[in-house]
């Protein structure tokens, strides 16, 4: 069963009885050149663009190329990677972060970022392989094999960051309430994952809701375990539909250099 650490982060447990159910939800994205990236992203929802210069600004250029006139908002390039890191389980990107600039509330990140771009400068010496899970296939597998969990994910609100302990500055304290699986006004289905989800405060059936959240964490941990791996090499840029796909990576040794850009399109909330 899932466990929660002192900081409020929940980690699911790999459950062997779920492995067959989740076989096939993992995806290895196609690799293509920049000229075909837009078509590939639209068709597949995820693509690796090969052979780009070692320049984080390629993230902005590729976002413009792949989304065109649908690109609405950029949230800033941020370095990621580091040295000797543990695994990072399946998650959907998006952060609730805002500041006050000259009396005006400004978002530095948004929970509804709907596309994600990751540019690899240098892969790790060993490990660090990426994992990608098709959330639509995942939800259908849950619907078929775990109908009660499916009903919860699609029909019940959760407090998306509710278990976080001492949120950092800029993170609003008001609960962010949403469903793990829902649709935008334009009809796009959103599949989410949060290590910090909790039942909505004082909701009837709180214990039952928590049990479903923990079961979902176990499903995600098992999907991460069985999904195929792929490696981002230097110059690779990984683009994905953040509403459809969940992603993670294996632990690594040595230094891994990566830059990330999240954006909102005209089709986001």
pLDDT digits (tens, 9 = 90+) for 26-35: 999 999 999 9
Residue 256 pLDDT class (50, 70, 90 cuts): very high
CATH superfamily of 3-264: Clavaminate synthase-like (3.60.130.10)
pLDDT at 165: 83
Counts for the chain of helices (H) and strands (E), in that order: 6, 21
pLDDT at 56: 95
Phi-psi region of 127 (alpha: psi -120 to 50; beta: other; left: phi over 0): left
CA-CA distance, 92 to 111, in Å (whole number)?
Answer: 9
pLDDT digits (tens, 9 = 90+) for 61-75: 999 999 999 999 999
Residue 6 pLDDT class (50, 70, 90 cuts): confident
Cβ proximity of 109 and 97 under 8 Å: yes
CA-CA distance, 46 to 92, in Å (whole number)?
Answer: 14
Across the range 236-241, mean pLDDT stands at 98
pLDDT at 106: 87
pLDDT digits (tens, 9 = 90+) for 198-224: 999 999 999 999 999 999 999 999 999
pLDDT at 169: 81
Q: What sign for the dihedral angle of Cα 60, 62, 63, 67?
A: positive
Candidate from 44-53, 78-87, 96-105 with smallest mean pLDDT: 96-105
Residue 41 pLDDT class (50, 70, 90 cuts): very high
Across the range 74-89, mean pLDDT stands at 94
Query: To the nearest whole number, what is the mean pLDDT of the chain?
Result: 95
**pLDDT(107) > 90:** no
pLDDT at 243: 98
**pLDDT(173) > 90:** no
The four Cα atoms 69, 130, 78, 62 give a dihedral, to 10 degrees, of -30
Q: What long-range pairs does 36-39 form, CB within 8 A, spacing at least 24?
A: 37/62, 37/65, 37/66, 37/239, 38/65, 38/66, 38/67, 38/68
Half-sphere exposure of residue 74: CA atoms within 13 angstroms, side-chain side:
14
Residue 151 pLDDT class (50, 70, 90 cuts): very high
Q: What is the pTM of this model?
A: 0.94
């Amino acid at each position: 069963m899932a466990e929660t650490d002192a900081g409020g982060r929940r980690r699911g447990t790999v459950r062997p009885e779920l492995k067959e159910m989740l076989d096939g939800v993992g995806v290895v994205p196609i690799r293509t050149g920049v000229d075909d990236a837009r078509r590939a992203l639209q068709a597949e929802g995820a693509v690796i663009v090969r052979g780009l210069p070692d320049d984080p600004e390629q993230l902005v250029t590729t976002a413009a190329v792949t989304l065109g006139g649908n690109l609405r908002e950029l949230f800033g390039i941020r370095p990621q990677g580091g040295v000797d890191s543990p695994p990072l389980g399946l998650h959907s990107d998006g952060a609730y972060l805002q500041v006050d600039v000259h009396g005006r509330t400004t978002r530095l990140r948004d929970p509804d970022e709907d596309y994600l771009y990751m540019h690899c400068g240098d892969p790790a010496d060993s490990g660090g392989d990426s994992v990608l899970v098709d959330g639509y296939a995942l939800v259908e597998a849950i619907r078929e094999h775990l109908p009660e969990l499916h009903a919860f994910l699609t029909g019940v609100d959760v407090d998306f960051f509710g278990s976080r302990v001492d949120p950092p500055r800029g993170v609003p304290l008001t609960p962010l309430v949403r469903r793990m699986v829902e649709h935008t006004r334009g009809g796009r289905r959103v599949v989410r994952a949060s290590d910090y989800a909790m039942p909505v405060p004082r909701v009837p059936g709180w214990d039952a809701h928590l049990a479903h959240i923990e079961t979902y964490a176990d499903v995600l941990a098992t999907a991460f375990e069985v999904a195929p791996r792929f490696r981002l090499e230097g110059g690779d840029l990984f683009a994905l539909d953040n509403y459809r796909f969940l992603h993670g990576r294996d632990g690594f040794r040595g230094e891994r250099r990566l830059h990330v850009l999240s954006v909102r399109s005209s089709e986001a909330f």
